[in-house]
Amino acid sequence: MSGRHAPRRRLPSRLSSRFPYRPAYTAAVLIAVAALIAGLGLWATSSGGEGDDARPAAGELPRNAVSGEPPEGPCAPDAKLVPPCGAWWGAYIPYDGDGSLTEPVYAFEKKIGRRLDLVYTYHDMSGNELDGTLLTPDEQVLGRDRMLMLAWESTVWKEPHHAGYTETQLGWKNIASGRYDTEILDPQIRRIKAYGKRVFLSFDQEVDARIKEGAGTPAEYVAAYRHLHDRFKRIGADNVVWVWTVSGYLGSAELMKQLYPGDAYVDWIGMDQYNYFVCHDTTDWKDFDRSQRPTYDWLLANVSATKPVMMAEFATVPDPADADRQRDWYTAIPEVVRTLPKARALVHWNRSVPGRGCDLTVNSGPGLEGYRTAGQDRYFAQPVPNR
């Protein structure tokens, strides 16, 4: 969560839901079918069934998720999942109190009148069933009709789903040395390899904010990132699209340049920028353009001009004095993003953060109205790959 980069106070980053661990996922088959008519046309969301659609078992290697023929034509995404005719529309949706990710995602999609192209989730390196396992059963179900973005942190969370936002750092120098290869990295890499379908992966997202948290030095991060990248290659998990994600806070500009692993190791550049407004006790309302463009321009000019850009977390709080202002913030997105041609994925952070005026969700009201309208623009109607 980009509150990490707040200069005056730290908001918890990468928030997760607050329910206790379950010893195992339920074996029951989830059934949910929604037929929605939206600006994108008729579509259906399926959450389980018989045979190949049955819910995956917890703990087992994922089944190969590649299916059907790949999209064809001038708008088909390339090998790095870049859509040439528009941008992906995605979101981070927290788990619900029953430990489900599928149900909150389906409910959100019903509200916005379309299926998400991309679902973003977060994991630590504990190796436990939920937080430390890449491609959980819920993720695999959602991944049948959507792309997945997995954020993998080199920490062990001290509470289930990072509920108290405290963690133990494994240390970048230890990752780079290979200390955790056999115990932690390799089992998860094999899971992604077995899944087969391409996934986005971000290692220690918002990395510029992690130095002060004790993760290590910029040089140690670069070494750890490259080691993880090479470990995937050695094991043969070539279905990963690498996203290097920074907060985008320009007060850390020089640090971000030091943390870049190099073009050979990065497929996309991610940035997490918000309009916090009163959440940070300011009177400075930044519309969508002003909240995103400065970091976008800086990354292209100072890190890489060739990589596609993912707005890996974005959102706005409402203006208590003007309810329509939040709606207008979102409805401006299609027009603005067309003037940011490298921005090829937009991922909404649909969760509040602690503090007065810090509701970043679009679950109701003008915010939902504006977000729904933006997401139905044809620029975000790109053919989602199934492999």
Active site (catalytic) residues: 206, 313
H or E stretch covering 195: helix 186-195
Give CA separation, 292 vs 24, 207, 287, in Å. 40, 18, 9
Do 374 and 330 touch, CB atoms closer than 8 A? yes
Give CA separation, 44 vs 34, 38, 113, 383, in Å. 5, 11, 11, 15
Among 363, 275, 384, 300, CA closest to 94? 363
Do 62 and 56 touch, CB atoms closer than 8 A? yes
Only one residue has tokens 């993720």, namely: 139
> DSSP character for 114?
S
What is d(CA 117, CA 350) in angstroms, rounded to the nearest whole number?
A: 15
> DSSP character for 279?
G
Q: Is 142 in a helix, a strand, or coil?
A: helix
Do 13 and 2 touch, CB atoms closer than 8 A? yes
Listed in sequence order, the residues at least 6 apart from 48 whose beta carbon sits closer than 8 Å to its beta carbon are 29, 30, 31, 32, 54, 55, 141
Give the phi and the psi of residue 334 in degrees, each rounded to 5.
-55, -40
H or E stretch covering 152: strand 147-152
